[in-house]
């Protein structure tokens, strides 16, 4: 699933790019203590400019109540603002 974000500057192959979309997908959840999320940052022209994994554990995992919480958590970890 993809959400729009406030524009953020980044680099892709030595050139400046502006990401405006965040893609997030749960790739592993042990249903006990942690979940792993894969993320991608995309430009408005549909160019992927960054990707990686985020691990939710501890009180963040325990406090998780649904998708809204997870999106806010991921955006916060990446220093992004959902719009």
pLDDT (tens digit per residue) in 34-43: 999 999 999 9
Domains of the chain: total = 1
**Considering the domain boundaries, does residue 21 fall inside one?**
yes
**Considering the domain boundaries, does residue 20 fall inside one?**
yes
Give dist(CA 32, CA 35) in Å, integer. Answer: 9
**Considering the domain boundaries, does residue 8 fall inside one?**
yes
Give dist(CA 44, CA 35) in Å, integer. Answer: 28
Adjacent-strand bridge partners of 19: 8, 43
Give dist(CA 4, CA 22) in Å, integer. Answer: 6
- What are 68-81's pLDDT values in tens digits? 999 999 999 999 99
Q: pTM here?
A: 0.93
Give dist(CA 2, CA 39) in Å, integer. Answer: 10
**Considering the domain boundaries, does residue 62 fall inside one?**
yes
**Considering the domain boundaries, does residue 83 fall inside one?**
no
**Considering the domain boundaries, does residue 19 fall inside one?**
yes
Full domain range(s) for residue 23 = 2-78
């Amino acid at each position: 699933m993809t959400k729009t974000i406030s524009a953020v500057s980044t680099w892709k192959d030595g050139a400046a790019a502006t990401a405006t979309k965040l893609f997030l997908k749960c790739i592993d959840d042990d249903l006990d203590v942690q979940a792993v999320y894969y993320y991608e940052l995309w430009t408005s022209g549909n160019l992927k400019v960054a990707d990686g994994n985020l691990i939710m554990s501890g009180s963040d995992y325990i406090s998780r109540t649904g998708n809204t919480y997870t999106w806010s958590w991921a955006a916060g970890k990446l220093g992004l603002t959902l719009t």
